[in-house]
Amino acid sequence: MAQTFGMQKTLKAPIHCRGIGLHSGARIEMVLRPAAPDTGIRFYRGDLNTEIAADWRNAVESPLCTTLANAKGVSVGTVEHLMAALSGLEVDNTLIELDGPEVPVMDGSASPFVFLIECAGLTVQDAPRRVIRVLKPISVGTPGKSAALVPDDHFSVTFAIDFASSAIRRQELTLSPCPATFKHELSAARTFGFLDEVERMREAGLARGGSLENAVVVAGDRVLNEEGLRYVDEFVRHKMLDAIGDLYLAGAPLLGHFHGTRSGHSLNRQLLTALFADRSAWCYAGAEPTPEAAVA
């Protein structure tokens, strides 16, 4: 009997939020809407009346975040935390409407997006889920900074980081992120940065909306946020959250183990490129894939 992976899901109802763009500093309104089976995750820039598919082929080089752009050159940035929430809660189809260039950063984690999705509710659709099975090891990077996928019978993630600051040092974690695990063990981990980098980032047009309200800020060996950390190892948990969001740009859940060592958005994107470049490295499992639509 063929292995089954459940049915596709979408939101029961639209849900709205507003917030600040982490890098643009713009005030942005966002609506998550239900979508039909096999739609996938799609962003709609209402201010420019154009769609952008959440697809690895649309990912473009962008410092410090994951940015998608369509053939018209229209982009949407900082998609990784929302993509992680959609992946973690197993949302297959949704249309995300924005009136600006970036997904709102909210509190710097995926937790507000988990809350939104749970408030909207999920509905099971009349279409089987498909997944992408990793068939052989694929890796990119260097021995000290790498990202890899290896075959496994479920999705799991190992991540390791190593920083000179004693507030972080070396952290490593392995998780198999089912919805409950994602919500409780990963979703609240916030993005982080170093105080001495903030001025340089702002001069480069980045982090204009960043603050202690939406990021963990480290100065030397101290965490500046008065409330401290949400997890003892919040830093590696956030890097794992980022990777889960980036990997959901595959267009379907992965069956395989991801191992990241000091990886970031660029290496995660390169890993998906390398995976799909080798047709012997993956196959669809579950539902038969629908014919590929043009990447918008």
Output DSSP code: residue 281: G
Identity of residue 161: I
Residues pairing with 146 in the sheet: 141, 261
Q: How far apart are CA 244 and CA 246, in angstroms?
A: 6
Q: How far apart are CA 247 and CA 83, in angstroms?
A: 9
Q: Which of 81, 238, 257, 265 is catalytic?
A: 265
Annotated active-site residue 265? The verdict is: yes
Consecutive H or E run containing 235:
helix 234-247
Residue pointed to by tokens 């392995």: 174
Residues 6+ apart with CB under 8 A from 30: 16, 17, 18, 19, 96, 97, 98, 103, 104
Token digits for 136? Answer: 């052989």
Q: How far apart are CA 104 and CA 96, in angstroms?
A: 12
The length of the chain in residues reads 296
Q: How far apart are CA 46 and CA 227, in angstroms?
A: 37
Positions marked catalytic: 265
